[in-house]
Chain A
Protein backbone atom coordinates (compact mmCIF):
# COMPACT_ATOMS: atom_id res chain seq x y z
CA UNK A 1 0.00 0.00 0.00
CA UNK A 2 2.43 2.55 -1.18
CA UNK A 3 0.17 4.53 -3.43
CA UNK A 4 -1.26 7.65 -1.90
CA UNK A 5 -4.97 7.92 -2.35
CA UNK A 6 -5.51 11.21 -4.10
CA UNK A 7 -8.64 13.22 -4.25
CA UNK A 8 -8.66 14.95 -7.62
CA UNK A 9 -11.25 17.56 -6.68
CA UNK A 10 -8.72 20.07 -5.45
CA UNK A 11 -6.74 19.95 -8.64
CA UNK A 12 -9.63 20.25 -11.03
CA UNK A 13 -11.18 23.23 -9.31
CA UNK A 14 -10.91 26.44 -11.22
CA UNK A 15 -11.80 29.88 -10.09
CA UNK A 16 -14.09 31.73 -12.45
CA UNK A 17 -17.01 32.54 -10.18
CA UNK A 18 -19.50 34.12 -12.55
CA UNK A 19 -19.00 31.41 -15.16
CA UNK A 20 -19.71 28.84 -12.52
CA UNK A 21 -22.90 30.53 -11.41
CA UNK A 22 -23.92 30.69 -15.05
CA UNK A 23 -23.11 27.01 -15.39
CA UNK A 24 -25.36 26.08 -12.49
CA UNK A 25 -28.11 28.28 -13.91
CA UNK A 26 -27.78 26.68 -17.35
CA UNK A 27 -27.90 23.22 -15.83
CA UNK A 28 -31.10 23.86 -13.91
CA UNK A 29 -32.58 25.81 -16.82
CA UNK A 30 -32.00 22.95 -19.22
CA UNK A 31 -33.40 20.49 -16.71
CA UNK A 32 -36.48 22.68 -16.22
CA UNK A 33 -37.15 22.56 -19.95
CA UNK A 34 -36.26 18.93 -20.47
CA UNK A 35 -39.52 17.30 -19.26
CA UNK A 36 -41.46 19.75 -21.40
CA UNK A 37 -39.31 19.10 -24.47
CA UNK A 38 -39.51 15.35 -24.01
CA UNK A 39 -43.17 15.55 -23.15
CA UNK A 40 -42.62 13.75 -19.86
CA UNK A 41 -44.94 14.08 -16.93
CA UNK A 42 -43.40 15.69 -13.87
CA UNK A 43 -44.17 12.50 -11.96
CA UNK A 44 -41.65 10.78 -14.18
CA UNK A 45 -38.99 13.46 -14.51
CA UNK A 46 -39.75 16.35 -12.20
CA UNK A 47 -38.29 19.74 -13.20
CA UNK A 48 -36.28 21.60 -10.53
CA UNK A 49 -39.21 23.90 -9.75
CA UNK A 50 -41.37 20.95 -8.80
CA UNK A 51 -38.54 19.40 -6.79
CA UNK A 52 -38.00 22.58 -4.79
CA UNK A 53 -41.71 22.96 -4.10
CA UNK A 54 -41.89 19.33 -3.02
CA UNK A 55 -38.91 19.82 -0.74
CA UNK A 56 -40.45 22.90 0.84
CA UNK A 57 -43.69 20.99 1.38
CA UNK A 58 -41.81 18.15 3.01
CA UNK A 59 -39.97 20.55 5.30
CA UNK A 60 -43.15 22.43 6.23
CA UNK A 61 -44.92 19.15 6.92
CA UNK A 62 -42.12 18.39 9.37
CA UNK A 63 -40.95 15.29 7.56
CA UNK A 64 -37.37 16.41 7.01
CA UNK A 65 -35.72 17.81 10.15
CA UNK A 66 -35.82 14.64 12.18
CA UNK A 67 -34.33 12.56 9.36
CA UNK A 68 -31.72 15.17 8.53
CA UNK A 69 -30.61 15.16 12.15
CA UNK A 70 -30.32 11.38 12.18
CA UNK A 71 -28.23 11.44 9.01
CA UNK A 72 -26.03 14.19 10.40
CA UNK A 73 -25.49 12.33 13.66
CA UNK A 74 -24.59 9.08 11.91
CA UNK A 75 -22.34 10.92 9.50
CA UNK A 76 -20.53 12.95 12.13
CA UNK A 77 -19.97 9.98 14.36
CA UNK A 78 -18.78 7.70 11.55
CA UNK A 79 -16.38 10.30 10.20
CA UNK A 80 -15.07 11.18 13.65
CA UNK A 81 -14.46 7.54 14.54
CA UNK A 82 -12.83 6.91 11.17
CA UNK A 83 -10.50 9.86 11.70
CA UNK A 84 -9.47 8.93 15.23
CA UNK A 85 -9.10 5.20 14.66
CA UNK A 86 -7.68 5.60 11.17
CA UNK A 87 -5.00 8.05 12.29
CA UNK A 88 -4.06 5.88 15.26
CA UNK A 89 -3.74 2.71 13.19
CA UNK A 90 -1.97 4.59 10.42
CA UNK A 91 0.56 6.13 12.80
CA UNK A 92 1.26 2.72 14.26
CA UNK A 93 1.60 1.14 10.82
CA UNK A 94 3.81 3.99 9.64
CA UNK A 95 6.21 3.59 12.54
CA UNK A 96 6.14 -0.19 13.06
CA UNK A 97 6.76 -2.12 9.89
CA UNK A 98 5.57 -5.47 11.17
CA UNK A 99 2.27 -3.94 12.17
CA UNK A 100 1.97 -2.33 8.74
CA UNK A 101 2.37 -5.70 7.01
CA UNK A 102 0.02 -7.42 9.43
CA UNK A 103 -2.65 -4.80 8.82
CA UNK A 104 -2.36 -4.87 5.03
CA UNK A 105 -4.59 -7.88 4.25
CA UNK A 106 -7.44 -6.34 6.21
CA UNK A 107 -7.04 -2.93 4.66
CA UNK A 108 -6.95 -4.50 1.23
CA UNK A 109 -10.07 -6.50 1.99
CA UNK A 110 -11.93 -3.41 3.14
CA UNK A 111 -10.64 -1.47 0.16
CA UNK A 112 -11.60 -3.92 -2.56
CA UNK A 113 -14.80 -5.40 -1.16
CA UNK A 114 -18.01 -3.67 -2.16
CA UNK A 115 -18.90 -3.28 1.51
CA UNK A 116 -22.62 -3.14 0.82
CA UNK A 117 -22.26 -6.87 0.18
CA UNK A 118 -21.57 -7.51 3.84
CA UNK A 119 -24.33 -5.16 4.92
CA UNK A 120 -26.76 -8.03 5.60
CA UNK A 121 -24.13 -9.43 7.97
CA UNK A 122 -23.56 -6.12 9.67
CA UNK A 123 -27.29 -5.91 10.33
CA UNK A 124 -27.14 -9.42 11.74
CA UNK A 125 -24.25 -8.47 14.02
CA UNK A 126 -25.17 -5.06 15.34
CA UNK A 127 -28.85 -4.73 14.51
CA UNK A 128 -30.80 -2.79 11.97
CA UNK A 129 -30.72 1.00 12.02
CA UNK A 130 -28.35 3.46 13.64
CA UNK A 131 -25.66 0.91 14.57
CA UNK A 132 -25.39 -0.82 11.21
CA UNK A 133 -25.46 2.51 9.35
CA UNK A 134 -22.72 3.81 11.59
CA UNK A 135 -20.66 0.67 11.14
CA UNK A 136 -20.78 0.56 7.34
CA UNK A 137 -20.06 4.27 7.03
CA UNK A 138 -17.15 3.88 9.42
CA UNK A 139 -15.71 0.90 7.55
CA UNK A 140 -15.90 2.76 4.25
CA UNK A 141 -14.37 5.92 5.65
CA UNK A 142 -11.57 4.47 7.72
CA UNK A 143 -9.65 2.89 4.83
CA UNK A 144 -8.27 6.01 3.14
CA UNK A 145 -7.41 7.49 6.52
CA UNK A 146 -5.35 4.44 7.47
CA UNK A 147 -3.64 4.21 4.09
CA UNK A 148 -2.78 7.88 3.82
CA UNK A 149 -1.63 8.24 7.40
CA UNK A 150 0.65 5.23 6.98
CA UNK A 151 2.23 6.68 3.85
CA UNK A 152 2.41 10.13 5.41
CA UNK A 153 4.17 8.87 8.51
CA UNK A 154 6.62 6.83 6.47
CA UNK A 155 7.43 9.82 4.31
CA UNK A 156 8.10 12.41 6.98
CA UNK A 157 11.29 13.98 5.65
CA UNK A 158 14.45 12.66 7.27
CA UNK A 159 15.78 16.11 8.24
CA UNK A 160 12.74 16.80 10.42
CA UNK A 161 13.28 13.59 12.36
CA UNK A 162 16.94 14.44 12.71
CA UNK A 163 16.05 17.80 14.20
CA UNK A 164 13.80 16.03 16.69
CA UNK A 165 16.55 13.61 17.72
CA UNK A 166 19.17 16.31 17.95
CA UNK A 167 17.02 18.40 20.27
CA UNK A 168 16.50 15.28 22.38
CA UNK A 169 12.84 14.66 21.74
CA UNK A 170 11.66 11.45 23.37
CA UNK A 171 9.53 8.94 21.49
CA UNK A 172 6.24 10.56 22.35
CA UNK A 173 7.44 14.09 21.61
CA UNK A 174 8.86 12.95 18.30
CA UNK A 175 5.49 11.46 17.39
CA UNK A 176 3.44 14.44 18.49
CA UNK A 177 5.68 17.31 17.49
CA UNK A 178 7.38 15.97 14.37
CA UNK A 179 5.79 12.85 12.87
CA UNK A 180 2.14 13.81 13.22
CA UNK A 181 2.43 17.38 11.92
CA UNK A 182 4.91 16.18 9.30
CA UNK A 183 2.38 13.75 7.87
CA UNK A 184 -0.54 16.11 8.27
CA UNK A 185 -1.06 17.05 4.61
CA UNK A 186 -1.49 13.40 3.65
CA UNK A 187 -3.62 12.64 6.69
CA UNK A 188 -5.96 15.45 5.71
CA UNK A 189 -6.09 14.20 2.13
CA UNK A 190 -7.17 10.85 3.55
CA UNK A 191 -9.87 12.43 5.67
CA UNK A 192 -11.04 14.40 2.64
CA UNK A 193 -11.62 11.10 0.82
CA UNK A 194 -13.29 9.76 3.93
CA UNK A 195 -15.82 12.61 3.95
CA UNK A 196 -17.22 11.35 0.67
CA UNK A 197 -17.07 7.66 1.53
CA UNK A 198 -18.74 8.18 4.90
CA UNK A 199 -21.64 9.96 3.21
CA UNK A 200 -22.00 7.11 0.73
CA UNK A 201 -22.00 4.67 3.62
CA UNK A 202 -24.60 6.56 5.61
CA UNK A 203 -26.98 7.03 2.69
CA UNK A 204 -26.69 3.45 1.43
CA UNK A 205 -27.01 2.09 4.94
CA UNK A 206 -30.14 4.10 5.46
CA UNK A 207 -31.59 3.02 2.13
CA UNK A 208 -31.05 -0.64 2.90
CA UNK A 209 -31.84 -1.12 6.49
CA UNK A 210 -32.97 1.73 8.65
CA UNK A 211 -36.11 3.50 9.70
CA UNK A 212 -34.79 7.03 9.74
CA UNK A 213 -32.48 9.30 7.80
CA UNK A 214 -32.44 10.91 4.37
CA UNK A 215 -31.53 7.63 2.67
CA UNK A 216 -34.47 5.95 4.38
CA UNK A 217 -36.79 8.66 3.05
CA UNK A 218 -35.48 8.04 -0.47
CA UNK A 219 -36.14 4.32 -0.25
CA UNK A 220 -39.52 4.88 1.35
CA UNK A 221 -40.70 7.34 -1.30
CA UNK A 222 -39.23 5.29 -4.13
CA UNK A 223 -41.18 2.26 -2.94
CA UNK A 224 -44.35 4.33 -3.40
CA UNK A 225 -43.09 5.65 -6.73
CA UNK A 226 -43.12 9.25 -5.61
CA UNK A 227 -40.40 10.53 -7.89
CA UNK A 228 -40.55 14.25 -6.98
CA UNK A 229 -40.15 13.34 -3.30
CA UNK A 230 -37.18 11.11 -4.09
CA UNK A 231 -35.56 13.96 -6.01
CA UNK A 232 -36.28 16.37 -3.15
CA UNK A 233 -34.27 14.18 -0.79
CA UNK A 234 -31.59 13.64 -3.41
CA UNK A 235 -31.27 17.40 -3.67
CA UNK A 236 -30.84 17.56 0.07
CA UNK A 237 -28.13 14.91 -0.03
CA UNK A 238 -26.31 16.71 -2.84
CA UNK A 239 -26.46 19.90 -0.78
CA UNK A 240 -25.19 17.98 2.24
CA UNK A 241 -22.27 16.64 0.23
CA UNK A 242 -21.40 20.03 -1.21
CA UNK A 243 -21.56 21.78 2.17
CA UNK A 244 -19.38 19.14 3.81
CA UNK A 245 -16.84 19.25 0.99
CA UNK A 246 -16.66 23.03 1.01
CA UNK A 247 -16.39 23.17 4.78
CA UNK A 248 -13.65 20.59 4.82
CA UNK A 249 -11.80 22.39 2.03
CA UNK A 250 -11.87 25.59 4.07
CA UNK A 251 -10.71 23.77 7.19
CA UNK A 252 -7.91 22.11 5.28
CA UNK A 253 -6.75 25.39 3.77
CA UNK A 254 -6.68 26.88 7.25
CA UNK A 255 -4.78 23.97 8.77
CA UNK A 256 -2.28 23.83 5.94
CA UNK A 257 -1.81 27.58 5.63
CA UNK A 258 1.88 27.11 6.37
CA UNK A 259 2.37 25.39 3.03
CA UNK A 260 3.40 27.09 -0.14
CA UNK A 261 0.35 27.38 -2.34
CA UNK A 262 0.69 24.81 -5.06
CA UNK A 263 0.55 26.08 -8.63
Chain B
Protein backbone atom coordinates (compact mmCIF):
# COMPACT_ATOMS: atom_id res chain seq x y z
CA UNK B 1 0.00 0.00 0.00
CA UNK B 2 1.23 3.42 -0.82
CA UNK B 3 1.09 6.14 1.75
CA UNK B 4 -1.02 8.23 -0.57
CA UNK B 5 -4.14 6.35 0.48
CA UNK B 6 -4.49 8.21 3.76
CA UNK B 7 -6.94 10.62 2.22
CA UNK B 8 -10.57 9.64 2.11
CA UNK B 9 -12.10 11.57 -0.73
CA UNK B 10 -15.56 10.07 -0.67
CA UNK B 11 -17.55 13.17 0.03
CA UNK B 12 -18.40 15.04 -3.11
CA UNK B 13 -16.28 18.15 -3.09
CA UNK B 14 -17.76 21.30 -1.70
CA UNK B 15 -17.39 24.08 -4.24
CA UNK B 16 -15.18 26.83 -2.90
CA UNK B 17 -17.77 29.52 -3.42
CA UNK B 18 -20.35 27.67 -1.31
CA UNK B 19 -21.36 29.79 1.65
CA UNK B 20 -21.29 28.46 5.20
CA UNK B 21 -23.81 25.60 5.45
CA UNK B 22 -27.29 26.47 6.62
CA UNK B 23 -28.08 26.42 10.32
CA UNK B 24 -30.09 23.18 10.04
CA UNK B 25 -27.30 21.40 8.25
CA UNK B 26 -24.82 22.46 10.90
CA UNK B 27 -26.96 21.21 13.76
CA UNK B 28 -27.50 17.96 11.88
CA UNK B 29 -23.77 17.52 11.36
CA UNK B 30 -23.10 18.16 15.04
CA UNK B 31 -25.71 15.62 16.09
CA UNK B 32 -23.79 13.12 14.00
CA UNK B 33 -20.94 13.51 16.49
CA UNK B 34 -23.11 13.07 19.59
CA UNK B 35 -24.38 9.49 19.70
CA UNK B 36 -25.30 9.55 23.37
CA UNK B 37 -27.33 12.71 23.07
CA UNK B 38 -29.24 11.44 20.05
CA UNK B 39 -29.94 8.06 21.63
CA UNK B 40 -31.24 9.61 24.83
CA UNK B 41 -33.30 12.19 22.96
CA UNK B 42 -34.76 9.51 20.77
CA UNK B 43 -35.78 7.30 23.69
CA UNK B 44 -37.10 10.27 25.69
CA UNK B 45 -39.19 11.58 22.83
CA UNK B 46 -40.72 8.15 22.43
CA UNK B 47 -41.64 8.12 26.11
CA UNK B 48 -42.95 11.68 25.92
CA UNK B 49 -45.07 10.92 22.87
CA UNK B 50 -46.43 7.86 24.66
CA UNK B 51 -47.31 9.94 27.73
CA UNK B 52 -48.96 12.70 25.72
CA UNK B 53 -50.81 10.12 23.65
CA UNK B 54 -52.33 8.47 26.69
CA UNK B 55 -53.10 11.77 28.44
CA UNK B 56 -54.98 13.09 25.43
CA UNK B 57 -56.84 9.82 25.16
CA UNK B 58 -55.33 9.13 21.73
CA UNK B 59 -53.92 5.90 23.15
CA UNK B 60 -56.35 3.87 25.23
CA UNK B 61 -54.68 3.54 28.63
CA UNK B 62 -56.15 0.07 29.17
CA UNK B 63 -54.29 -1.17 26.08
CA UNK B 64 -51.21 0.96 26.00
CA UNK B 65 -50.82 2.15 29.60
CA UNK B 66 -48.59 5.20 30.02
CA UNK B 67 -45.08 5.92 31.31
CA UNK B 68 -46.42 7.32 34.59
CA UNK B 69 -48.69 4.32 35.12
CA UNK B 70 -45.80 1.97 34.40
CA UNK B 71 -43.64 3.83 36.90
CA UNK B 72 -46.40 3.68 39.50
CA UNK B 73 -46.86 -0.04 38.94
CA UNK B 74 -43.12 -0.44 39.34
CA UNK B 75 -43.15 1.37 42.65
CA UNK B 76 -46.02 -0.80 43.82
CA UNK B 77 -44.27 -4.01 42.78
CA UNK B 78 -41.02 -3.02 44.40
CA UNK B 79 -42.52 -1.94 47.70
CA UNK B 80 -44.71 -5.01 47.93
CA UNK B 81 -43.38 -8.47 48.67
CA UNK B 82 -45.25 -10.19 45.85
CA UNK B 83 -42.44 -10.10 43.35
CA UNK B 84 -39.61 -11.56 45.40
CA UNK B 85 -40.52 -15.27 45.29
CA UNK B 86 -40.97 -15.01 41.55
CA UNK B 87 -37.55 -13.46 41.14
CA UNK B 88 -36.06 -16.28 43.21
CA UNK B 89 -37.80 -18.95 41.13
CA UNK B 90 -36.72 -17.48 37.81
CA UNK B 91 -33.21 -16.80 39.04
CA UNK B 92 -32.80 -20.39 40.21
CA UNK B 93 -34.08 -21.88 36.97
CA UNK B 94 -31.92 -19.53 34.94
CA UNK B 95 -28.72 -20.13 36.85
CA UNK B 96 -29.02 -23.90 37.17
CA UNK B 97 -30.14 -24.42 33.56
CA UNK B 98 -27.58 -22.03 32.14
CA UNK B 99 -24.73 -23.38 34.25
CA UNK B 100 -25.43 -26.99 33.35
CA UNK B 101 -25.96 -26.03 29.72
CA UNK B 102 -22.64 -24.23 29.46
CA UNK B 103 -20.63 -27.01 31.09
CA UNK B 104 -22.24 -29.74 29.01
CA UNK B 105 -21.97 -27.77 25.77
CA UNK B 106 -18.30 -26.91 26.21
CA UNK B 107 -17.39 -30.53 27.00
CA UNK B 108 -19.43 -31.96 24.14
CA UNK B 109 -18.29 -29.15 21.86
CA UNK B 110 -14.63 -29.98 22.42
CA UNK B 111 -15.25 -33.63 21.64
CA UNK B 112 -17.25 -32.86 18.52
CA UNK B 113 -14.82 -30.19 17.37
CA UNK B 114 -11.65 -32.15 18.09
CA UNK B 115 -12.57 -35.62 16.82
CA UNK B 116 -13.50 -35.08 13.23
CA UNK B 117 -15.38 -38.34 12.74
CA UNK B 118 -17.61 -37.91 15.79
CA UNK B 119 -18.14 -34.30 14.82
CA UNK B 120 -19.27 -35.23 11.34
CA UNK B 121 -21.54 -37.99 12.65
CA UNK B 122 -23.28 -35.59 15.00
CA UNK B 123 -23.34 -32.67 12.58
CA UNK B 124 -26.73 -33.11 10.89
CA UNK B 125 -28.56 -33.79 14.15
CA UNK B 126 -26.91 -30.86 15.92
CA UNK B 127 -27.68 -28.55 13.00
CA UNK B 128 -31.28 -29.69 12.72
CA UNK B 129 -31.88 -29.11 16.41
CA UNK B 130 -30.03 -25.82 16.26
CA UNK B 131 -32.17 -24.35 13.49
CA UNK B 132 -35.42 -25.54 15.05
CA UNK B 133 -37.37 -23.50 17.58
CA UNK B 134 -36.51 -25.58 20.62
CA UNK B 135 -39.19 -23.92 22.70
CA UNK B 136 -41.68 -26.03 20.80
CA UNK B 137 -40.62 -29.03 22.87
CA UNK B 138 -41.58 -27.33 26.11
CA UNK B 139 -45.08 -28.85 26.33
CA UNK B 140 -43.47 -32.29 26.32
CA UNK B 141 -41.05 -31.22 29.01
CA UNK B 142 -43.99 -30.23 31.17
CA UNK B 143 -45.49 -33.69 30.70
CA UNK B 144 -42.18 -35.30 31.58
CA UNK B 145 -40.86 -33.08 34.33
CA UNK B 146 -43.94 -31.43 35.77
CA UNK B 147 -45.15 -27.89 36.25
CA UNK B 148 -42.37 -26.82 38.61
CA UNK B 149 -38.69 -26.00 38.35
CA UNK B 150 -37.66 -29.17 36.49
CA UNK B 151 -39.26 -28.45 33.16
CA UNK B 152 -37.91 -24.88 33.13
CA UNK B 153 -34.41 -25.92 34.03
CA UNK B 154 -34.39 -28.43 31.18
CA UNK B 155 -35.78 -25.80 28.81
CA UNK B 156 -33.11 -23.27 29.80
CA UNK B 157 -30.52 -26.02 29.51
CA UNK B 158 -31.59 -26.79 25.95
CA UNK B 159 -31.66 -23.13 24.94
CA UNK B 160 -28.17 -22.57 26.29
CA UNK B 161 -26.71 -25.88 25.20
CA UNK B 162 -27.11 -25.57 21.45
CA UNK B 163 -25.91 -21.97 21.24
CA UNK B 164 -22.78 -22.68 23.25
CA UNK B 165 -22.25 -26.01 21.51
CA UNK B 166 -22.29 -24.59 17.99
CA UNK B 167 -19.89 -21.83 18.96
CA UNK B 168 -17.56 -24.16 20.81
CA UNK B 169 -17.38 -26.54 17.86
CA UNK B 170 -16.62 -23.78 15.45
CA UNK B 171 -14.07 -22.30 17.87
CA UNK B 172 -12.24 -25.59 18.26
CA UNK B 173 -12.32 -26.26 14.53
CA UNK B 174 -11.00 -22.82 13.74
CA UNK B 175 -7.94 -23.07 15.96
CA UNK B 176 -5.10 -22.40 13.56
CA UNK B 177 -3.89 -25.84 12.46
CA UNK B 178 -0.36 -24.55 12.02
CA UNK B 179 -0.24 -23.87 15.76
CA UNK B 180 -1.20 -27.47 16.47
CA UNK B 181 1.38 -28.73 13.97
CA UNK B 182 4.00 -26.54 15.58
CA UNK B 183 3.16 -27.91 19.01
CA UNK B 184 3.25 -31.47 17.67
CA UNK B 185 6.63 -30.89 16.07
CA UNK B 186 7.93 -30.00 19.52
CA UNK B 187 6.52 -33.35 20.62
CA UNK B 188 4.11 -31.67 22.97
CA UNK B 189 1.80 -34.19 24.63
CA UNK B 190 -1.91 -34.14 23.85
CA UNK B 191 -2.84 -32.63 27.18
CA UNK B 192 -0.41 -29.78 26.58
CA UNK B 193 -1.85 -29.08 23.14
CA UNK B 194 -5.32 -29.09 24.63
CA UNK B 195 -4.46 -26.76 27.49
CA UNK B 196 -2.09 -24.39 25.76
CA UNK B 197 -3.36 -24.33 22.19
CA UNK B 198 -6.90 -25.57 21.80
CA UNK B 199 -8.55 -24.01 24.83
CA UNK B 200 -7.07 -20.53 24.48
CA UNK B 201 -7.74 -20.63 20.74
CA UNK B 202 -11.38 -21.56 21.20
CA UNK B 203 -12.12 -19.19 24.07
CA UNK B 204 -13.23 -16.14 22.05
CA UNK B 205 -15.73 -18.23 20.16
CA UNK B 206 -16.95 -19.91 23.37
CA UNK B 207 -17.45 -16.48 24.88
CA UNK B 208 -19.64 -15.54 21.94
CA UNK B 209 -21.60 -18.69 22.69
CA UNK B 210 -21.93 -17.75 26.37
CA UNK B 211 -23.38 -14.40 25.39
CA UNK B 212 -25.77 -15.73 22.78
CA UNK B 213 -26.63 -18.65 25.05
CA UNK B 214 -27.54 -16.34 27.90
CA UNK B 215 -29.97 -14.38 25.82
CA UNK B 216 -31.48 -17.68 24.69
CA UNK B 217 -31.66 -18.79 28.32
CA UNK B 218 -33.63 -15.71 29.33
CA UNK B 219 -36.05 -16.13 26.44
CA UNK B 220 -36.43 -19.80 27.35
CA UNK B 221 -37.14 -19.24 31.04
CA UNK B 222 -39.65 -16.42 30.53
CA UNK B 223 -41.46 -18.14 27.68
CA UNK B 224 -41.62 -21.44 29.54
CA UNK B 225 -42.95 -19.81 32.67
CA UNK B 226 -45.52 -17.93 30.68
CA UNK B 227 -46.69 -21.10 29.02
CA UNK B 228 -47.23 -23.20 32.14
CA UNK B 229 -45.78 -22.63 35.59
CA UNK B 230 -46.52 -22.20 39.24
CA UNK B 231 -44.32 -19.18 39.85
CA UNK B 232 -41.64 -17.02 38.28
CA UNK B 233 -41.38 -13.73 36.41
CA UNK B 234 -42.99 -15.23 33.31
CA UNK B 235 -45.82 -16.50 35.47
CA UNK B 236 -46.29 -13.04 36.92
CA UNK B 237 -46.22 -11.44 33.46
CA UNK B 238 -48.80 -13.91 32.27
CA UNK B 239 -51.02 -13.28 35.29
CA UNK B 240 -50.94 -9.53 34.79
CA UNK B 241 -51.57 -10.05 31.10
CA UNK B 242 -54.72 -12.01 31.79
CA UNK B 243 -55.85 -9.36 34.26
CA UNK B 244 -55.22 -6.68 31.61
CA UNK B 245 -52.82 -4.95 34.01
CA UNK B 246 -50.90 -3.43 31.10
CA UNK B 247 -48.94 -1.14 33.41
CA UNK B 248 -47.55 -3.89 35.62
CA UNK B 249 -46.89 -6.11 32.63
CA UNK B 250 -44.89 -3.43 30.87
CA UNK B 251 -42.94 -2.69 33.99
CA UNK B 252 -41.98 -6.35 34.34
CA UNK B 253 -41.02 -6.52 30.67
CA UNK B 254 -38.79 -3.49 31.10
CA UNK B 255 -37.27 -5.02 34.20
CA UNK B 256 -36.49 -8.29 32.44
CA UNK B 257 -35.12 -6.60 29.34
CA UNK B 258 -32.96 -4.23 31.36
CA UNK B 259 -31.53 -7.21 33.17
CA UNK B 260 -30.96 -9.02 29.88
CA UNK B 261 -29.43 -5.92 28.33
CA UNK B 262 -26.98 -5.43 31.20
CA UNK B 263 -26.08 -9.11 31.33
CA UNK B 264 -25.45 -9.25 27.58
CA UNK B 265 -23.46 -6.02 27.72
CA UNK B 266 -21.35 -7.45 30.52
CA UNK B 267 -20.74 -10.68 28.69
CA UNK B 268 -19.79 -8.82 25.51
CA UNK B 269 -17.31 -6.75 27.47
CA UNK B 270 -15.68 -9.92 28.78
CA UNK B 271 -15.79 -11.36 25.28
CA UNK B 272 -14.02 -8.35 23.82
CA UNK B 273 -11.32 -8.48 26.47
CA UNK B 274 -10.70 -12.15 25.95
CA UNK B 275 -10.52 -11.85 22.20
CA UNK B 276 -8.54 -8.64 22.04
CA UNK B 277 -5.53 -10.54 20.71
CA UNK B 278 -7.47 -11.52 17.63
CA UNK B 279 -7.27 -9.40 14.50
CA UNK B 280 -10.69 -7.87 14.10
A41 proximal to B (CB < 8 A): no
Contact A98 B169 (CB under 8 A): no
Specify which chain A residues have a CB less than 8 angstroms from the CB of B128 in the assembled complex.
238, 241-242
Contact A23 B120 (CB under 8 A): yes
- Identify which of B205, B223, B252 gathers the most chain A CB atoms within 10 Å of its CB: B223
A245 with B131, Cβ < 8 A, contacts A23-B124, A237-B136 known: yes
Specify which chain A residues have a CB less than 8 angstroms from the CB of B124 in the assembled complex.
20, 23-24
**Distance in angstroms between the alpha carbons of A121 and B251 in the assembled complex:** 12
Nearest chain B residue, comparing its CB with the CB of A23: B121
A60 proximal to B (CB < 8 A): no
A231 with B140, Cβ < 8 A, contacts A14-B120, A114-B218, A241-B128 known: yes
What's the minimum C-beta distance from A25 to chain B, rounded to whole angstroms? 10
Query: Digit string of B110-152 for contact with A (CB within 8 Å is 1, else 0)?
Result: 0000001101111111011111110111011011100000000
Specify which chain B residues have a CB less than 8 angstroms from the CB of A108 in the assembled complex.
261
B35 proximal to A (CB < 8 A): yes
Nearest chain A residue, comparing its CB with the CB of B264: A112
Can you list 24 A-B contacts with CB-CB less than 8 angstroms, sorted by A residue number?
A: A3-B268, A8-B205, A11-B170, A12-B127, A12-B170, A13-B127, A23-B120, A23-B125, A97-B32, A101-B39, A105-B39, A112-B261, A113-B257, A114-B260, A117-B253, A118-B249, A119-B226, A119-B241, A120-B249, A162-B9, A218-B139, A221-B139, A225-B143, A234-B140
In the A-B complex, list the 3 residue pairs whose CB atoms are closest, starting with the nearest: A120-B241, A222-B139, A23-B121
Extra contacts, 16 of them, besides A14-B116, A222-B140 (Cβ < 8 A), are: A9-B130, A12-B127, A12-B173, A13-B127, A16-B120, A98-B28, A101-B35, A112-B264, A114-B260, A117-B249, A119-B226, A120-B241, A120-B249, A125-B63, A203-B133, A241-B128
